[in-house]
Amino acid sequence: MALPSAVSVASKLPDIGTTIFSVIGALVEQYKPINLSQGAPNFKVSPQLIDGATLAMRNGFNQYSPADGIATLRELLSAKVANLYARHYDPREEITITGSASEGLYAAITALIHSGDEVIYFEPAFDSYVPNVRLQGGKPVPIQLKAPDFALPWDELSAAINSKTKMIIINSPHNPTARVLSAEDLDKLAALTANTNIVILSDEVYEHIIFDGVKHMSMACHPQLAERSVIVSSFGKTFHVTGWRVGYCLAPKEIMAEVRKVHQFLMYAADTPFQHAVADYMQDPQTYLGLAEFYQHKRDLLLDALAATQFKLYPSQGSFFMLAGYEAFTDEADKDLVLRLIRDYHVATIPLSAFYSDGYDPKILRLSFAKDDETLRQGAAALIQFSKDNE
């Protein structure tokens, strides 16, 4: 029996409840469906990574690392970014290893957003952006991306920018739409933010998971944007170790100095043995450069399996995800359909309405293909059966 509280607590997020990921996670535990919901791989981690973490522990790397991360890992990141995006970040002052990409996002927003500042972001959106902004007294300003292409609406973005705008949050490859930014997009963003004091917070956790030979357009690629951007990425997503909670931030030193002030009080330092394991592993660039081919196979497996159904499959240009519209089958709310799919068809997905602040429901499900091939086949079979039963 829960004990009553002796104090009355005024919530800072009174309208925020349990995230959809926790809700679906609980249903997955209850019903044990084929899980195409969570963006977490279910296949084995590289033995080299496991051995690297174990060796680091045995070699005594079990205490705090430097607050900014171990030097070797920061130097490897500097070299990687210079090679891929032609931008040099000083590993001493412009690169910080964080306790997950989520911590990096929170540290950046906390450091740079003050009460009354406006932060523009694009919906559907990863669910941490809005509460992170509100906790700092900032005002989230959503701009809706619309099907079928979910392109950035530049006229709306231009109209939303004003003297209170202090940050624009960008996510590419995008979760959940799987859209990626182009070089033209970066030029337009640079033009809109030129001669302003706006910071770009660029969530690039799927930077190496991009398909069909397309190049990832990091903010680091564009000199004008790099000068005003905090770039956040994730070793967990890249190396299939989401539970390790290790990520990183890149930013010009003046901006990074502020981010580090917050980071030192949030985490002080990311997990030490995992940093050593990642540093050892990524010395072979193929560990991350081979991800596009690896995940494109999985995307295509799921795409081909569902091609004959009446699901509307939206293009997946990058990330772990694919969107599937279901209007041909039913007009029920996406959250209701997700529950029905779990209970009656033994397959878990995510409702797209969960990524909109106003609950907008475009009748689309998010499918994750960060799964082994057999799980993808079984998940597709369940969705095909649903399709047949509801034609």
| Together in a domain, 138 and 268 | yes
| Together in a domain, 135 and 236 | yes
Backbone φ and ψ for 98, nearest 5 degrees, come out as -115, 160
| Together in a domain, 169 and 217 | yes
Domain boundary among 268, 287, 306: 287
Q: Which one, of 295, 338, 239, 235, lies nearest residue 20 by Cα?
A: 338
| Together in a domain, 235 and 279 | yes
- In a domain? residue 54: no
User: Could you tell me the residue range of the domain that residue 336 belongs to?
Assistant: 20-42+290-389
- In a domain? residue 259: yes
- In a domain? residue 9: no
| Together in a domain, 247 and 325 | no
Q: How many other β-carbons are positioned within 10 Å of the β-carbon of residue 338?
A: 26
| Together in a domain, 275 and 295 | no
pLDDT in tens, 106-134: 999 999 999 999 999 999 999 899 999 99
Per-residue pLDDT of the chain (391 residues; tens, 9 = 90+): 667 778 888 888 888 777 777 888 888 888 899 999 988 899 999 999 999 999 999 999 999 999 999 999 999 999 999 999 999 999 999 999 999 999 999 999 999 999 999 999 999 999 899 999 999 999 999 999 998 899 999 999 999 999 999 999 999 999 999 999 999 999 999 999 999 999 999 999 999 999 999 999 999 999 999 999 999 999 999 999 999 999 999 999 999 999 999 999 999 999 999 999 999 999 999 999 999 999 999 999 999 999 999 999 999 999 999 999 999 999 999 999 999 999 999 999 999 999 998 889 999 999 999 999 999 999 999 999 999 999 8
| Together in a domain, 100 and 227 | yes
Q: What is the CATH number of the domain that holds 200?
A: 3.40.640.10
List of residues 6+ apart from 291 with CB closer than 8 A = 208, 209, 238
- In a domain? residue 10: no
- In a domain? residue 3: no
From CA 229, how far away is CA 219, in angstroms rounded? 7
Q: What's the one-letter identity of residue 372?
A: D
| Together in a domain, 98 and 215 | yes
Alpha carbon of residue 153 to chain centroid: 21
| Together in a domain, 278 and 309 | no
Looking at the 3D structure of the chain, how many domains does it have? 2
Strands (E), the chain: 34-35, 95-98, 118-123, 139-144, 165-171, 199-203, 229-234, 247-250, 312-313, 321-325, 347-348, 350-351, 364-368
From CA 62, how far away is CA 243, in angstroms rounded? 17
- In a domain? residue 51: no
From CA 212, how far away is CA 316, in angstroms rounded? 10
Q: Would you call 351 helix, strand, or coil by DSSP?
A: strand
- In a domain? residue 14: no
Domain boundary among 264, 287, 310: 287
| Together in a domain, 237 and 343 | no
Domain boundary among 287, 319, 350: 287
- In a domain? residue 303: yes
| Together in a domain, 273 and 309 | no
pTM above 0.85, yes or no: yes
| Together in a domain, 80 and 224 | yes
Q: What is the CATH number of the domain that holds 27?
A: 3.90.1150.10
The token pair at 248 is 């990183």
Q: Is 333 left (phi over 0), alpha (psi -120 to 50) or beta?
A: beta
